[in-house]
Structure 1
Amino acid sequence: MLKFVKGYMETIDGVATYPMISLLIFFVFFAVLFWWVLTASKAHIKEVSEIPLDETDIENR
């Protein structure tokens, strides 16, 4: 099975670019996420972290 897949993948032109594109997307996503974590306001993080403990949402149902 693996021999078939390897032989099949070698016939595709430019197949080596797909892993590089995947790595680039992965790196860019986590770089943007890291940037957002560093620049997010502390008030927003505190507000969002208290949502599960907020009882007013339960009373409004």
Structure 2
Amino acid sequence: MKFINYLEKISGVSIYPVVSLILFTSMFVIVVLYAMKTSKERISEMEKLPLDEN
């Protein structure tokens, strides 16, 4: 039996793609806004972290 046959038997399964799209889009927007609002000093500080010996 194919996987699609299992999904057809679940009532209300069509809401899951919509919910996942909304979650992905909202997380993407949050990350983009965070990246845009972060100061240049903070970004410079984070760039140097892998090379920092302290």
Give TM-score, length-normalised by structure 1.
Answer: 0.78
Q: For 1:23-42, what aligned pairs fall within 5 Å after superposition?
A: 23-42=21-40
Q: CA RMSD in A?
A: 1.1
Question: Paired residues, what number?
Answer: 54
Task: Tell which has more relative contact order, 1 or 2 (C-alpha 8 A, sep 6+).
Answer: 2
Point out the structure with max Rg over C-alpha. Answer: 1
Unaligned ranges ≥5, structure 2 = none
What code does the residue aligned with 1:28 have? Answer: S
Give TM-score, length-normalised by structure 2.
Answer: 0.86
Task: Quote the offset at 1:24 in angstroms.
Answer: 0.7
Runs of 4+ in 1 over 3 A off after TM superposition: none
Unaligned ranges ≥5, structure 1 = none
After TM superposition, the structure 1 stretch with the greater mean CA deviation from structure 2, 32-41 or 46-55, is 46-55
Percent of residue pairs bearing the same amino acid type? 37
* Offset from partner CA, 1:42-61 (integer Å, 9 cap, x none): 10000111112223x2xxxx
